[in-house]
């Protein structure tokens, strides 16, 4: 490496033509990542390709997570 000839800059000189847009899951459809030039183009593409989480329409009966278990709730109720 010479001090007379500086290193060439290897950074990207122009921004990429396409940007990435993330569409979060709404509980009905999967989350998607789409590369497009504009948000309008990405939104149109998302509406064409969005996939259902449960295609049959039957959502599984999954109970909501609890921060405490039932036994500790009963103990707390008896202590009062």
Q: Is the residue at 60 inside a domain? A: no
Residue 1 confidence class, pLDDT cut points 50, 70, 90: low
Q: Is the residue at 46 inside a domain? A: yes
Alpha carbon distance 31, 44 (integer Å) = 15
Residue 80 confidence class, pLDDT cut points 50, 70, 90: low
Q: Is the residue at 48 inside a domain? A: yes
For the segment 21-69, what is each residue's pLDDT rounded down to a tens digit? Answer: 999 998 889 999 999 999 999 999 999 999 998 887 776 776 767 777 6
- How many domains, the chain? 1
Residue 70 confidence class, pLDDT cut points 50, 70, 90: low
Q: Is the residue at 3 inside a domain? A: no
Alpha carbon distance 66, 49 (integer Å) = 35
Alpha carbon distance 61, 6 (integer Å) = 65
For the segment 4-27, what is each residue's pLDDT rounded down to a tens digit? Answer: 776 776 676 777 788 999 999 988
């Amino acid at each position: 490496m010479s001090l007379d000839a500086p290193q060439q800059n290897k950074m990207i000189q122009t921004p990429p033509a396409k940007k990435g847009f993330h569409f979060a899951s709404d509980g009905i459809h999967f989350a998607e990542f789409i590369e497009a030039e504009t948000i309008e183009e990405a939104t149109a593409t998302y509406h064409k390709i969005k996939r259902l989480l449960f295609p049959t329409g039957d959502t599984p009966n999954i109970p909501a997570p609890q921060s405490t278990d039932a036994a500790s709730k009963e103990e707390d109720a008896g202590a009062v």
